[in-house]
Chain A
Amino acid sequence: MFFFKKENHRFKPYTSMILASLLMSTNLSWGQNQGINDLRLRGTRFNRNAIVVGKLVGHDDYRRIYLRVSNGEYLITRTGNSRPFRVLAYSPDRLEVSLERHSLSDQTDPRWIVFRFFQNERQLMTSMILEQVDYAVLRTRSQAREVNRANPFMVVIPLKTATNTVQMVVYNLAHPVLGSAEVRRALSYAINKRKMVEELLVNDGIVARGSPYESDRPYYARGLDEYKYDPKKAIQILQAAGWRDLDRDGVLEKNGHELKIRLAFEKGMHLSERVARRIKLDLFEIGIEIVPVPYARIELTERLMRGDYQAALLEQQFEESIDSLYRFFADGRRGFVRFRNRNFEMLYKKAKKYPPGEQRRAVAHQLQAIINRYCLASFLFYRYYDYHLFNIKKVDNFYDERAARVKPFDQWSIKQTYGRK
């Protein structure tokens, strides 16, 4: 739930989003009941039956928040009468939902789920320490430990990150410089991915091997160029492509274009910031200037959809299907890499006729080979864990040990002792 679902890859302008924008512009609330304003949960942390979930604007698009309850997972902003909840408040910094399944007599049932959006992880961490947030997910162990050390009631449960969730740099092929496969390949060779895993993740992850799929998955295509760190090779490629530092300012040039790239990344995410800085340092070594630019998730998504970007640092989960690869990389309404390749299109269309299974997987391998050859993205690493933090002073019954995952919100319970002196 904390990463893009397969639908997210499409980045299509959903009807719900338009509707949401309309609602916001007309200052209407999402609730079906006019009395909901009375239920507005200002100062929710003092309301013992509300679960406050911390979200980050850099990572979560408030219009694309899913609510998982016992009978399914719902996109909150999508309308529908059969949903077991009502939306009470809806704004870029707050999303309030009332669960309908709760029993009024049971004081332990959560009645409201409040999603609060924070500008950066530090603010989220502070709110967790101050117990203004009951549940959130952090990306690094050190952050989770810091919160837990400052407030021992915030317990940490590390849960394995969804399979094939890769941190990568995607390139806008429409960009005059990044349109060159040589430049993209040089970039891939020049980024020291191993150092990132060692220094930034403290070995809490694994280096990607030239594919969005993890190398132990059946969808992983063997024999791909892993783009291991090789700055000399990167320099050779760039020189062969005619890039020179003519004015000796440390940045390569060609035909009057400087090799200067703006790298969009998720705002307020400590790990992304450090990865972006590592990339900047690595690429400066071969004469490429990277200008990292942080964006909120909404803006980043919109820019990606519009093609208004040069390179973007993303964390993306890939389903093991040809659709997943095609939607992300191919040209068309859904993809934003805008890769135009006849062979790629042909393979995809051919594979669509195959039944799911071995033949499709073989095509997926071929698609990966093309992505790898043209270096549509620099795949960096996979994180091992997400760090889920829970305020155990308030909430209980939140974790399904057998399934090793967080339970749906309506199954959580609020501790009787919470909020009572």
Chain B
Amino acid sequence: MLEKKQIKFPHRMLYRLLTSHVLLVTIPLLLTVQILTNTAQQAIEEIIRARNLEIVKRSAQQIAQTLEKAYDILQLSAESPAIYQMGHRSQGFTINKIVYEFDIFQILSVYDREGKLVVSTEFAPTDGHNDRSLPKEVFENVIAGKRYSSEVYLSPENLPKMDVFVPIRRQNETVGILKAEVDLKAIWALVDSIIVGKKGEAFIIREDGQFIAHTDRRKVLQGEVFQESAILQEMAAGGVNQRIYQNRDGAEMIVAYAPIYVYGKDWRAVIQQPTREAFAPARIMRLQIFVIMFFSICMAAMIAFFYTRKILRPVDRLVSGINRIASGDLRYRIEPLGKDEISQLAEHFNAMAARLKSFQNKLKRTERLETLGKLASVLSHEIRNPLNSMVINMQILRREYQKVLGNSEKLDHYHNIVVSEIKRVDELVGNFLMIARPPKLEPETRKIADILDEIITMQQPIALPKGIRIERDYEHPDLRARVDHNKMKQVFLNIVINAIQAMPGGGRLTIGLEKQFSYEAEPPQDMIKIYFRDTGKGIKPENLKHIFDFYFSTKKDGTGIGLSIAQQIVEEHGGFIKVESEHKKGTTVFIYLPIISNS
């Protein structure tokens, strides 16, 4: 169960982080997109409405202007002496010229004050039975000085036409009538030029809805009528307007219309387009934004997933490392995880584990030393005193025997053996006491390099004959520490002697000196790092963990206390000692001492 929970833990974190990342991206994005699309859609729709309105207004104006221009030409002609003063031939020439110059006039005819046709641009009829008289109502109106225009009609040639009649006036007197058959094809061309999308249509209708012009000309030619009565009613109210409505086929249309007041007629210019097409840009934009948003979220989720996983991977390793250490493996160290906070956490945790291990060792050692201390006090009284007594008594005994026996070589020989053994026991006890109750340090600030140099100078004559080269590798030769010079010298000497002994066939001993930050120090700080690297036979792994144990030695004549004493001295100086060794390749002993700054 516990195992499962441990595995699940980072995954839960992954999902939580992932979800939070995605939500953090999605929610503001959704809100922004919603606001953006709504605003853009409204803006686009407004633009389209305004555009349609503008088009229809302009078209209405253009149509009115075109027809007004035609009317002006007609009016000017009617008031011109070329019409009212000249003979029929000159009149014919004038009106033919107008017809030739202005496409909008299909036929121009001049009638006299009785309403009889005088001259016309119409080519001579070949059938001989064209009715050329004016309708009575028209004649009466125009002869009274009013202008008159017919409804729009389709001529036999299928042209949209209307007849316009203007009085020919001379000195405020109507002397005739000028009739124009106005060709409204120009309106068709104008309507054709209005492009309202693919399904949109532009058209001109009469008051009753009859198409006068339409982008689909068939509707005009087939006499169709605009049948949206609601829109027609609205148009009847006049004014320019636009709106959305549903046509008879159920399609939603946006329609814009404007009145055309010309020749006393009330026409309408209309453009309409299915909203589906008109507002398609807004819809497409919305769709595009949502697609982009969807892909953005997907991308964000993917990035969040990989990024979160990357963040959590060191956490995962940290957690598994913590688990190892928690399970008691204080030697385990978490691998470097990078340079971020988690990495620092891992480093601190490693340091903590190291210190824990160190404390554990110290605790064991303190316990041992406490026991030894008690033993030492017993030994100093119970062994050393008798030994002293034994030495004194042996001297007395030797003197007494010499008195009796005279100088005897045998006596001297045995006496010396006993004394020597007693001294050896005393020395052993002395060493033991030094471990159990070490003498007080007398520290002073010294350059470590100087102490190392003394040792090298001392050991060089011993090492060289054995084919061993001692090399210095001082990165920081000026490093100083507060040390007891003799004790530290003893430590270095002990290690160098061990190294020389480990290289019976010759080799290289490198003595290094550098500065290094250590998390194992208490507190973590910059330390002087001194190392002794030999190329000797190395230490077997099973022995490596016992090398600082009292009386442990792999050498035949080793006492097994040298490294223990060295470790004790180093630790008394506030440092620590470490050994790394590879069997048959060599050993490196590291000594870390608190640094004293030069200043």
The interface of chain A, by Cβ under 8 A from chain B, is 119-120, 122-123, 125-126, 129-130, 146, 149-151, 249-251, 262, 267-268, 273-274, 276-278, 280-281, 284, 289, 291-295, 299
Contact check, B217 vs A129: say whether CB atoms are below 8 A apart.
Answer: yes
B240 contacts partner chain A, Cβ-Cβ < 8 Å: no
Chain A CB within 8 A of B408 CB? no
Also in contact, A293 and B100, with CB within 8 A (given A123-B156, A130-B221, A149-B192): no
The answer for the CA separation of A125 and B218 in the assembled complex, in Å, is 11
CB distance from B578 to the nearest CB of A (A): 93
Contact flag A295-B222 (CB < 8 Å), given A123-B157, A277-B100: no
Contacts A149-B192, A277-B100, A281-B93: A130 and B156 contacting too (C-beta < 8 A)?
A: no
Task: Name the residue on B nearest A199 (C-beta).
Answer: B100
C-alpha gap A292/B90 in the complex (Å): 16
Q: Does B126 contact A (CB under 8 A)?
A: yes
Residues from chain A with Cβ under 8 Å of B221 in the complex: 126, 129-130
Contact A284 B218 (CB under 8 A): no
Question: 20 A–B contact pairs at CB < 8 A?
Answer: A119-B156, A123-B157, A123-B158, A125-B158, A129-B217, A129-B218, A150-B192, A150-B217, A151-B218, A249-B87, A250-B90, A250-B93, A251-B89, A273-B123, A276-B123, A278-B100, A281-B100, A294-B123, A294-B126, A295-B126
Are A122 and B159 in contact, CB atoms less than 8 angstroms apart? Answer: yes
Residues of A within 8 A of B189 (CB): 146
When C-beta atoms are compared, the residue in chain B nearest to A125 turns out to be B158
Q: With A150-B217, A289-B89, A291-B124 given, is the CB distance from A281 to B97 under 8 Å?
A: yes
Q: Specify which chain A residues have a CB less than 8 angstroms from the CB of B89 in the assembled complex.
A: 249-251, 284, 289
Query: Closest 4 A-B residue pairs measured CB to CB?
Result: A122-B157, A126-B158, A150-B217, A293-B124
A149 to B190, CA, bound (A): 12
- Is B589 located at the chain interface by the 8 A CB criterion? no
Query: Are A130 and B218 within 8 A (Cβ)?
Result: yes
Q: Which of A120, A278, A281 contacts B157 (CB 8 A)?
A: A120
Alpha-carbon distance between A150 and B123 when the two chains are bound, in angstroms? 28
Report B86-106 residues with CB < 8 Å from chain A CB. 87, 89-90, 93, 96-97, 99-100
Closest CB of chain B to A253's CB: distance in Å? 12
Determine the chain A residues whose CB is within 8 A of the CB of B156 once the complex forms: 119, 123
Cα A318 to Cα B222 with chains together (Å): 42
**Nearest CB of B to A274, in Å:** 7
Across the interface, do B123 and A122 meet the contact criterion of CB distance under 8 Å?
no
Complex interface: chain B residues within 8 A of A299 (CB):
126
* A268 (CB) vs chain B CBs: closest residue: B157
Which residue from chain B places its CB closest to the CB of A251 in the assembled complex?
A: B89
Closest to A120 in B: B157
Q: Would you call B100 and A292 a contact (CB within 8 A)?
A: no
Pick the residue among B87, B96, B222 that contacts A250 (CB under 8 A).
B87
Among B99, B126, B157, B192, the one with the most A-chain Cβ atoms within 10 Å of its Cβ is B157
Chain B residue, CB-CB nearest to A277: B100
When C-beta atoms are compared, the residue in chain A nearest to B218 turns out to be A130
**Which residues of chain B (255-296) have a CB below 8 Å from chain A?**
none
Question: Within the complex, which residue of A129, A151, A281, A293 is in contact with B96, where a contact is CB–CB below 8 Å?
Answer: A281
Bound: A129/B217 CA distance, A: 7
Q: Is the CB of A293 within 8 A of B123?
A: yes
Contact digits for B97-118, partner A, Cβ 8 Å, 1 yes 0 no: 1011000000000000000000
Q: How far is the CA of A251 from the CA of B189 in the complex (A)?
A: 39
- Find out whether the CB atom of A151 lies under 8 angstroms from the CB atom of B217: yes
Contact with A along B141-157 (1 / 0, CB 8 A): 00000000000000111
| Shortest beta-carbon distance from A46 to chain B in Å | 15
Nearest CB of chain B from residue A152's CB, rounded to whole Å: 11
A277–B92 Cα distance when bound, in Å, is: 11
Residue of A nearest to B86 (CB): A250
B154-187 with Cβ < 8 A to chain A: 155-159
Residue among B90, B156, B217, B221 with most chain A CB within 10 A: B217
| Assembled-state Cα–Cα distance A130/B96 (Å) | 32
- Bound Cα distance A294, B130 (Å): 15
**Which of chain B's residues have a CB closer than 8 A to the CB of A291?**
124
B87, A292: Cβ atoms under 8 Å?
A: no
- Find residues 410-440 in chain B having any chain A CB closer than 8 Å to their own CB: none
**Chain A contacts for B126, CB-based, 8 A:** 267, 293-295, 299
What is the bound-complex CA distance between A1 and B97, given in angstroms? 35
Do A292 and B158 touch (CB < 8 A)? no
Interface string of B125-138 (1 = CB under 8 A from A): 01000000000000
A293 vs B123: C-alpha distance when bound (angstroms): 6
- Chain B residues closer than 8 Å to A277, beta-carbon distance: 96, 99-100, 121
A contact residues around B90 at 8 Å (CB): 250
Least CB distance, B146 to chain A, in whole angstroms: 30
Instruction: Name which residue of chain A comes closest to B159, CB basis.
Output: A122
Name A299's closest neighbour in chain B (CB-CB): B126
B99, B100, B188, B189: most-surrounded residue (chain A CB, <10 A): B100
Q: A123-B158, A249-B87 are in contact. List 10 more A-B contacts (CB 8 A).
A: A120-B157, A126-B158, A250-B93, A268-B157, A274-B100, A276-B123, A281-B97, A284-B89, A292-B124, A294-B126
Measured between beta carbons, the chain A residues less than 8 angstroms from B158 are 122-123, 125-126
User: Could you mark each residue 204-218 of chain B with 1 if its beta carbon is under 8 Å from any beta carbon of chain A, else 0?
Assistant: 000000000000011
> Given the complex, which residues of A lie within 8 Å of B159, measured CB to CB?
122
CB distance from B122 to the nearest CB of A (A): 10
Given A129-B217, A130-B222, A280-B96 contact (CB < 8 Å): yes
Determine how close the nearest CB of chain B comes to the CB of A138; give it in whole angstroms: 14
How near does chain B come to A32, taking the closest CB pair, in angstroms? 36
How far is B188's CA from A13's CA once the two chains are assembled, in angstroms? 45
Chain A residues whose CB sits within 8 angstroms of the CB of B100 once the complex forms: 274, 277-278, 281
Question: Of A149, A273, A274, which is in contact with the most chain B CB atoms at under 10 Å from its CB?
Answer: A149
A151 to B97, CA, bound (A): 33
Q: Which residues of chain A are near B97, meaning CB under 8 Å?
A: 281
Q: Mark B60-83, 1 if CB is under 8 A from A, else 0.
A: 000000000000000000000000
CA distance in complex: A251, B90 (Å)? 10
Report Cα–Cα, A368/B121, bound state, in Å. 36
Q: Once the chains are docked, how many angstroms separate the CA of A342 from the CA of B10?
A: 121
Given contacts A250-B93, A277-B100, A278-B100, contact A292 B157 (CB under 8 A): no
0/1 interface trace, chain B 498-528, chain A, CB 8 Å (1 if under): 0000000000000000000000000000000
A123 to B188, CA, bound (A): 16
Q: Residue on A with the closest CB to B183?
A: A122
Say how far B348's CB is from chain A's closest CB, in angstroms: 80
The distance from the CB of B279 to the nearest CB of chain A, in whole angstroms, is: 25
Q: Residues of B contacting A126 with CB < 8 Å? A: 158, 221
Bound-complex Cα distance A119 to B157 (A): 8
**Chain B residues near A146 (CB, 8 Å)?**
189
How far is B221's CA from A129's CA once the two chains are assembled, in angstroms?
9
User: With A and B bound together, what is the CA distance between A262 and B126 in angstroms?
Assistant: 12
Chain B residues, Cβ within 8 Å of A281:
93, 96-97, 100
> How far in angstroms is the closest Cβ of chain A from B341?
71
A284 to B126, alpha carbons, bound, how many Å? Answer: 22
CB of B88, distance to nearest CB on chain A (Å): 8
A250 to B89, CA, bound (A): 7
A168 CB to nearest chain B CB (Å): 19
**Which chain A residue lies CB-closest to B154?**
A126
| Cβ-closest chain B residue relative to A131 | B218
Separation in Å of the B180 CB from the closest CB of chain A? 16
CA distance A267 to B123 in the complex (A): 10
What residues of chain B lie closer than 8 Å to A273, measured between beta carbons? 123
Interfacial chain A residues near B188, Cβ < 8 Å: 150
Q: Shortest distance in angstroms between B550's beta carbon and chain A's nearest beta carbon?
A: 108
Closest CB in chain A relative to B120 CB, distance in Å: 12
Contacts of A262 in B (CB 8 A): 124
> B374-415 CB contact bits vs A (8 Å, 1 = yes)?
000000000000000000000000000000000000000000
Complex Cα–Cα for A123 and B157 (A): 5
Which residues of B lie under 8 Å from residue A278 when comparing CB positions?
100
Residues from chain A with Cβ under 8 Å of B155 in the complex: 122
A274 to B99, CA, bound (A): 10
A249–B93 CA distance with the chains assembled, in angstroms: 12
